[in-house]
Structure 1
Amino acid sequence: MSHPLPPATCPAHGLTTGLLPLAEAVGSKDPQGAYRRLREQWGSVAKVELEPGVPAWLVMGYRELLTITRQEQVYSRDARNWRDLDDGVVSPDSGLLPMMAWRANVIGADGPEHRRLRQPLDDGVARIDQRRTRRQVEAMCAKLIGEFSGRGHADLVNEYATIIPMLSLASLFGLDSGEGRELLRALIALFGSADDSQVGNRHFEEILADTLRARRDEPKDDLTTALLRHPNLRDEAEHLQSMVVMISAGNETVTAWISHTLRLMLTDPRFAARMHGGRLGVDDALDEALWRDPPMNNMPARYALSDTELGGQQIRRGDVLILGIGAANDDPAVRSATGGVEPGNRAHLAFSSGAHVCPAQVPARLITRTAVNTVLHLLPDMRLSIPAEDVAWRPSPWTRVPVSLPVDFSAQYGAVAEAGAGTSQ
C-alpha cells in the first residue's frame, strides 16, 4: 500500500512546502519505500527539503546520477554556485554548511584544480601497506571484542563499528587512540547536520591542525607527513583540508558499511544463511550491503551552472542537486526483476562516479572486511537482542548509521577473543 509523503512545514513562515525532508527519508525504517513514493510522484529527479525552507533536487535515477557526476561543465562541485546560499535562503548558522559549504579542498573543485588536489589523496592511498594495515586493524578489532566479550552482550555500533574506522584512520595519520576517539565525537556531530554541526566541525579541524604543526617539527612515517611533503599542496589550509577530506569521508562511510553488513547478518536469515553456508563470500556480502543500504544514502552536492533539463525536470542555474545513491541503486532501470543482487556485481554507486569517485575504496574495503571477518570469527553465535524493526537510525540527511546494534552471545567466547589478536598471517 502506498502512503502519501508528509508535507514539510517551515517554522519561520508557517508555510507548508509539501516537500519531503530528506533526513526523514534517510532515518525512516524503509528509506527505499520513501524513495519509491518520491519516484511515483516526481520521476527520477524529485524536489525535497534539506532543512525548513531550503529545497534541493534529489537525483534518484541511475543514469541521471551518472550524468551529473560526469558532466562537470554543467554540474559543478563548487558550492559558491549555490543560489540559495548566495541569496540568504540558507542561514550562516545552518547545520548544512559543514557538509555543503565551499572549502578550499578537492571536494569543492572542478577540472584542473580538482586534479591537482586529488593527486595527493591518490598518492597517499597508494602508499598504504595493506598487509600491515590489515594486521593492525585485526588487532584493534580483537582488542575491542576482548573488552566486552566476557559480558555476553555488547553494542556492535558504539562499541565496535563506530570505533574501528576512526582508530584505523588515526593510526595511518599518526594519531593516538585518544585523539582518534576525540575526532570521532566531533565527526558524529558534523555529519548530523544539526545544531551542533558547526561546533563539531571546528573541533575536528583544531585537532588536525595540531597534528600538522607537530609533524612540521617532527616528521614521521605517516600520511600526515606525506601530505605536508606533497608538491601539489601549496599552503597550510590545503594540508589541513586534505586531511579533513580523507578522515571525515573515510570514517563515517566505513562505520556505516560495517554496521549495515552486520545488521544484515543479524536480521536477514537469507543473507546470514548464504554467508554461513559458504554461498556468499565476505566481499560479495559487503557489496550486497552497498547495494541495499549504501553508507552515503545521499551525497551532497552538485550545482547547476546553467538552466538545463534532467529527468524531465527543469533545473535552474544555481539549483542544488543531491546524489540520491540509495535511491539510484534501487532504480527499476538497473534493479533485477527479483530485487536481488547477483554476487560479484559492483555496479552500485556507493563510491559515486566520475572525477569525484571515492579515492579510498581499497582501504575502506580492507578495514570493513577485516572488521566483519573478525567479529564473525570471534563471536560466532551472536544474535540481535532487540526486534529487527526496533533498530533506529542516527539523524542525518546524508548517512544511514544505526543508533545501536545490541547483541547477545556466549560469554565463553571471551577467552577466544582476547587471544584472537594477530592470529592471521
Structure 2
Amino acid sequence: MTSPRPDVPSDGSVPAPPPGCPAHRPESGAPHRLHGPAAAADPRAVYELLRREHGPVAPVLVHGDLPAWLVLGHRENLEVMRTPSLYSRDSRRWSMFEQGRVPADSPLIPMIGWQPVCVFADGDEHARLRRAVTDGLAQFNRHGVRRYVTHHTRRLVAGFASRGEADLIGEYAERLPMLVMNQLLGMPEENGPRLVEAARDATRGGPAAPAGEDLMAQTLRTLVRRKTERPGRDLASRLIGHESGLTGDEVVDHLRLVLLAANEATVNLIANTLRLVLTDRRFRASLSGGQMTLPDALEQVLWDAPPLSVVAGRWAVGDTVLGGRRISAGDMVLLGLAAGNADPEIRPDRSAPVHGNRSHLSFSGGPHECPGQDIGRAIADTGIDTLLTLLPGLELAVSEAELVTGAARLTERLESLPVRFTPEREAVPGPELRVSAAPPVSQPLPAASPQPPAPPAVPAPRGELSRWQRVLRGR
C-alpha cells in the first residue's frame, strides 16, 4: 500500500499514521536491508518496492541491521539537504553510536565516522572549512583541467592500445580521475600511479585498506610540508595560505577528502556514461543523427545512474516529520539520490529525455552541495571524448547481460567493462604524450577566470557531424 503524503500541521505536532500504513519507527515491522543480496542484485527494484510500500520515506536497515530512514522522494531529499537546522551532518548525533551498537570494524565507519572536515560540520565551522575548499577548487579553469585529462588519457590508452582489448573500468575509469586530481592538488606527476593504487585499496576496504590509508596520509603530509616552503598554484598551496586559517592537520584532512570524494564520484560517472554509450541504442541512434551531444549523455546518466546512489547521511537534530514519517532525534537519514531522481512526481515518464534539465540530485544540494562538480564533469566529458577518438571501432566484448554491477558502500558500481577495438600497431603517437602537452604541477595552470555558463548544445548542421558523432557513426 502506498502511503499518502500528509502535510505537517502548522503547530508542529506529529500526525498519527494513516490507517493501514506501515509502522513509522524503523525498528518495527520488517524493514528492507540495504546491504542484502536483493539490494545488491537490483537496488532500483528495491527502491521502487519501498516507494510502493512506504511512500517518499522508508524504514530500512543498514550494515549490522541498524535502523535508518531512506529518503525516496525528490522533494523530501531537497528538504533534508536544505535544512541543516533539522538534519545535521555531524554523525556523532547518531543514536546508534550513543548506544554503542556500531562495531569498530563496521563498513559504515569509512563513510560516517566523524572527522574534523567540512562534510561533518554545520554552521560557522562548516562555512569556514568549506570556503577554503571552494576557493581552492575555483582557481582551476576548464581549459587547464582538460589539458591534464587529455594528457593522462593518452598515457593510459598507450598502455593497452596495441592489444585491441581492455577493461575500461580497471585500466581507465578507476585511474584517470585520481591522476588528474593528484596534479590539481600539487602532487608530482610520478606519484600518481602509486596513489591510484593506495586510493583503490582504501576505498575498497579489506586487508589492504589500512596500508592504503597510511600511504595516502604520509604522502599528503609530505606534500603539505613541501608546499608550505614552496607554494604554487595548486589546491594544497591555496588551502595552506587561505584566510580561513586551516591548521596543518586540517589541510591534510581536506586534501584527502577532495581526493577520495572526487575520485569515487568521477570514476562512477565515467563508467556509467561509457556503459550507456556502448549499450543504449537510443543514444547511439540519436548521436549519429546529430541530436545528442556528449554533455547531454552525461546529463542523462546523472539522472538515471548517479555516481552515488545513496549518501549517508544526515542525523535528525530533534523530533520532526518528513514525508509523513515521524523522525526522532538521533535517527540516521539516508539521501536516496537515485531514488529521488526517479520519483514519479517529477518524472512521470522516465523514457523522456532530460536535455538541459539539471534539477537532478546527483551532486546533492543545499550548503553541502558538491563543490567540485564542474571539475568532475570536465574530467568525464574530456576523458570519454578523447578515449573514443583514440579507440576506433570500440564496442563491448561481452553481451550487455554479462556486465556485473555491485552495490558496494550503498552505491551501484560497474565492476568491469570489457571492450574490443581496432588495435594500434604502435603506441599512441608521441608528441601528445610529452609532459609539455600537460605541464607538471611545478608549472602553474593559467590564472583562474570567471567562467560564463555553458551555452546550450547546438546540434551539428545537416551533413556536418562533430568528432564525437563521427566516431559513433563509424561504429
Q: What TM-score does the superposition give when structure 2 sets the normalisation length?
A: 0.80
Which of residues 344, 363, 372 is equivalent to 1:351?
A: 363
1:293 to 284, 293, 305: 305
Alpha-carbon spacing, 1:253–1:279, altered in 2? closer, same or farther (3 Å): same
Equivalent position of 2:33 in the other structure: 20
Code of the aligned partner of 2:60 = V
1:270 aligns to 2:282 (yes or no): yes
Q: Displacement of 1:409 after TM fit?
A: 0.6
Deviation at 1:102, TM superposition (A): 1.2
Distance 2:359 2:425 in 1: 38
- Shift of the 413–22 alpha-carbon distance from structure 1 to 2, 3 Å rule, reads farther
Q: Give yes or no for contact 1:124–1:227 (8 Å, CA) kept in 2.
A: yes
Residue 331 of structure 1, CA deviation: 0.6
Distance 1:295 1:125, change over 3 A: same
- 1:212 shift after superposition: 1.4
Match of 1:389 in 2: 401
1:39 aligns with 2:56: no
The match for 1:324 is: 336
Partner of 2:176: 164
Looking at structure 2, the residues matched to 50 and 178 of structure 1 have their Cα atoms a distance apart, in angstroms, of 40
Which amino acid letter does the alignment assign opposite residue 128 of structure 2?
Answer: R
- Residues matched between the structures, number: 408
Aligned to 1:66: 78
State whether residues 64 and 102 of structure 2, in contact with CA within 8 Å, keep that contact through their aligned partners in structure 1: no
Partner residue in 2 for 1:51: 63
RMSD: 2.4
Q: Compared with structure 1, are the counterparts of its residues 18 and 76 closer, same or farther at alpha carbon in structure 2 (3 Å cutoff)?
A: closer
CA distance in 1, matches of 2:245, 2:197: 28
Deviates more, 1:348-357 or 1:388-397: 388-397
Relative distance call for 1:23 and 1:202 in structure 2 (3 A) is farther
Whole-angstrom distance in 2 between the partners of 1:98 and 1:202: 14
1:9 aligned residue: none
* CA apart distance, 1:116: 0.8
Equivalent residue, structure 2, for 1:86: 98
Residue 417 (structure 2) aligns with: 405
Measured after TM superposition, the shift of residue 180 of structure 1 is: 2.8
Any idea what the Cα deviations from partners look like across 1:332-366, whole Å, max 9, x if unmatched?
Answer: 11114253332111111100010000111111111
Cα distance in structure 2, aligned partners of 1:129 and 1:383: 33
Report Cα offsets for 1:199-254 as digits up to 9, x if no partner: 64444333322321232233333211111111213312211122122111111101
3-state SS in 2 of match to 1:120: helix
The 8 Å contact of residues 23 and 395 in structure 1, kept in 2 or not, is answered as no
**Is the Cα–Cα contact under 8 Å of residues 155 and 407 in structure 1 kept in the other structure?**
yes
Aligned to 1:244: 256
CA distance in 1, matches of 2:165, 2:230: 42
Structure 2 partner of 1:97: 109
SS in structure 2 at match of 1:411: coil
Segments of 5+ residues of structure 1 without an aligned counterpart are: 1-15
Please identify which structure carries the higher helix content. 1
The one of 165, 168, 175 equivalent to 2:187 is 175
CA distance in 2 between partners of 1:198 and 1:37 (Å): 37
Of structures 1 and 2, the larger Rg is shown by 2
- The alpha-carbon deviation at position 302 of structure 1 amounts to 0.2
Task: Report the Cα offset of residue 419 of structure 1.
Answer: 6.5
286-295 or 308-317: bigger deviation = 308-317
In 1: Cα distance, 2:313 partner to 2:430 partner: 44
Q: Which of 358, 365, 368 is 2:380 aligned to?
A: 368
Match of 1:306 among 289, 306, 318: 318
**Is contact 1:260-1:293 (8 Å) kept?**
yes
TM-score, normalization by structure 1: 0.89
**What is the match of residue 234 of structure 2?**
222
Identical-pair percentage: 35
Paired residue for 2:9? none
